[in-house]
Amino acid sequence: MVKNDRRPMHDAYKKAAYVVLSLGAHIALRPSRRVLSRALLVDSDHILLMRQFDGLTYNLPGGHVDGGESIQNAVEREYFEECGVRLKAEKVLGIVELNYKKFRFLKKQTLTFVWKMTHLGMDDQVYGREYFEKPEWVRLSDLENLD
């Protein structure tokens, strides 16, 4: 009498488990991408930055590009939300790519489009509309001392 050989069934489960685990690992290790659009405004020897709520760190005005939104519309919308002034984005000055790992295995990628905006000077009124950051004109010579 021949015993029922469970080997083919065992191999099928191993293959299925391998496929599922491979897909899961592929999804977990696939880079997560964020797209940002930020404004660069300079007037004589000052640059407009957003002081973060901690009071120690700064960023360029702008933020995330929403799904279905153009990068140009995003920077104009974000700038208005943060500074209360409507400006037109003129042209992309550059793109900054940042790649890093989070939790030692999850790859992250951020693409930031930096825009030249229509003129805004230090005499123009800007005010923070968000509770966690505030616009501030900073001397270019002080940039190296900021985080």
pLDDT in tens, 96-106: 888 877 666 66
* pTM score: 0.68
**Is the CB of residue 78 less than 8 Å from the CB of residue 37?**
yes
In the chain, where the domains are located: 31-145
Beta bridge partners of 101: 107
pLDDT in tens, 56-85: 888 889 999 998 999 999 999 998 888 888
**CATH architecture designation of domain 31-145:** Alpha-Beta Complex (3.90)
25 vs 10, higher pLDDT: 10
- 3-state per-residue secondary structure call for 114-138: EEEECCCCCCCCCCCCCCCEEEEEE
pLDDT in tens, 115-136: 998 876 556 666 666 667 888 8
146 vs 38, higher pLDDT: 38
pLDDT at residue number 65: 93
pLDDT at residue number 75: 93
